[in-house]
Amino acid sequence: MGCFECCIKCLGGVPYASLVATILCFSGVALFCGCGHVALTGTVTILETHFSKVTSDHAMLTDVIQLMQYVIYGIASFFFLYGIILLAEGFYTTSAVKELHSEFKTTICGRCISGMFVFLTYILGVAWLGVFGFSAVPVFLFYNMWSTCAAMKSPMANLTNIDSICVDVRQYGIIPWNATPGKACGSTLGDICNTSEFYLSYHLYIVACAGAGATVIALLIYMMATTYNFAVLKFKSREDCCTKF
């Protein structure tokens, strides 16, 4: 067998679905965790500077954001390991790999592990759908503020008193109602929208939301790949049983 034939045969053993899902999962989790972490820090800065100048008013929110940032570290570490494990599982349960290793035998333990990955990936996919929906909330809040600022600057608005246009973040439950000032109006609101913290946080939240969406897609691909691998293992085990008689 020549070198070219060996390369073709080896490439035939690559689980391309799991490989694509792994790359997409790593990219999505990296975008979500990295951009989300920085965006949360920028959000705290905006709130402390413009909406809640008394530390005790947003102390709980600060603690929650710090907790979320620690959770982000855990998510990044977990999915780095989980993606590698699923990719390795894909290599060893692909039908192409079985063709390369004719002595490949399935065991009850192997089938149980494959079934566990199917179940766990399904649970993670459902969980990340929730994460994707949750990550869209700050995008919605920042978009409302940005659209309000854009409306004030629009020459078609024909506003006589821009100070009557306000954004009150207390209505979203982010800070308590007794927080001061709690809202920004007119030129103050326009100045907030022009800050680098607002611009950066808004776009980072968008990227983080896109990263969460990419992770959901990656987990869907993983689910299809692991389900297929589990079905092949079941078929192989029946085939082994039949050949014994």
Q: What is the pLDDT of residues 18-54, one digit of tens each?
A: 788 889 999 999 999 999 999 999 888 888 888 887 7
Q: Is residue 130 part of a domain?
A: yes
In angstroms, rounded to a whole number, what is the distance separating the alpha carbons of residues 179 and 169? 10
Q: Looking at the predicted structure, is the pLDDT value of residue 11 above 80?
A: no
Q: Is residue 8 part of a domain?
A: no
Q: Is residue 1 part of a domain?
A: no
pTM of the shown model: 0.82
Q: Is residue 42 part of a domain?
A: yes
* Residues in the chain, total: 245
C-beta atoms surrounding 145 within 10 Å: 18
Number of domains in the chain: 1
- Cβ–Cβ under 8 Å, residues 12 and 167: no
Confidence (pLDDT) at 100 = 44
Average pLDDT of span 137-152: 87
For the chain, the distance separating the N- and C-terminal CA atoms, rounded to the nearest angstrom, is: 34
Residues of the domain holding 77: 17-98+110-135+197-238
